Amino acid sequence: MKILIKTAVFTAVLLGSSLTQAANTTASIPMGLEVPKSCSFSDVSSGIVLPENGTEAQGSFTFSCNMDGGFDLSTFLDSVNNTGHPSVVNSEGVSLPITATLTSPSYSRSLDNASSGPWIQFISGWLNSNIKSTIKAKLVNPTIATTPAGIYTDTFRVNVNY
């Protein structure tokens, strides 16, 4: 009987010590998340139709970035990139000169030549802001009866670099 009691006491001491040890053991698992920088476009005009009489037409787009500045808006017309002068061109290569202006918050600039610079910088204060920009364009001279028939086109391109 003495042996049974000693065994029971020894077992109780062993079980008690392991429970005490388990109660003092902790673990930690660090957690984190990295959200990459990103920008997105919305409300992009499907196209700009220039009136034959030389009046102004416009299109627009909106963009938003998930960072507080440190990005810029690069823009250009294909015709300026190709020839140095903005114009719309038909399939036979006949071109009609145009003027174009880009307006963003607190900034407006002509897209009439490559030397005007291809970008607008956004330094700070723009976190998740919807930045609406407008491009206005028109023929330099209205079309006349001797203007060659055809579809005249150019493309306005915009990139947000971050």
| Segment 104-161, tens digit of pLDDT | 887 888 887 765 555 788 888 889 899 999 999 999 999 999 999 999 999 999 988 8
> Strand pairing of 131-139 and 95-104?
antiparallel
Query: What is the C-alpha separation between 150 and 91, in angstroms, rounded?
Result: 7
What does the pLDDT read at residue 4? 45
pLDDT of the residue at 30: 96
- 18 vs 56, higher pLDDT: 56
> DSSP states of 70-110 as a string?
-EEEEEEEHHHHHHSS-EEE-TTS-EEEEEEEEEETTEEEE
In this structure, what token pair is assigned to residue 142?
């209205």
pLDDT band for position 10 (50/70/90)? very low
Domains identified in the chain and CATH numbers: 39-161 (2.60.40)
| Number of Cβ within a 10 Å radius of residue 120 | 21
Supply the pTM of this predicted model: 0.75
CB-based contact 136:61 (threshold 8 Å)? no
pLDDT digits (tens, 9 = 90+) for 43-77: 999 999 999 999 999 999 999 999 987 888 888 89
What is the H or E stretch that residue 17 is in? helix 2-23
- Least trusted range by pLDDT, from 5-14, 51-60, 98-107: 5-14
Mean pLDDT of 77-84: 86
3-state secondary structure of 119: strand
pLDDT at 25 over 60: yes
Residues of the chain by 3-state class (helix, strand, coil), percent to 5: 20, 35, 45
| Averaged pLDDT of the chain | 85
Asked whether the beta carbons of 133 and 93 are under 8 A apart, the reply is no
CB 77 within 8 Å of CB 155: yes
Residue 31 confidence class, pLDDT cut points 50, 70, 90: very high
Q: In this model, does residue 6 exceed pLDDT 90?
A: no
Q: Nearest 5°: CA angle at 82, between 81 and 85? A: 75
Most confident of 17-31, 88-102, 108-122: 88-102
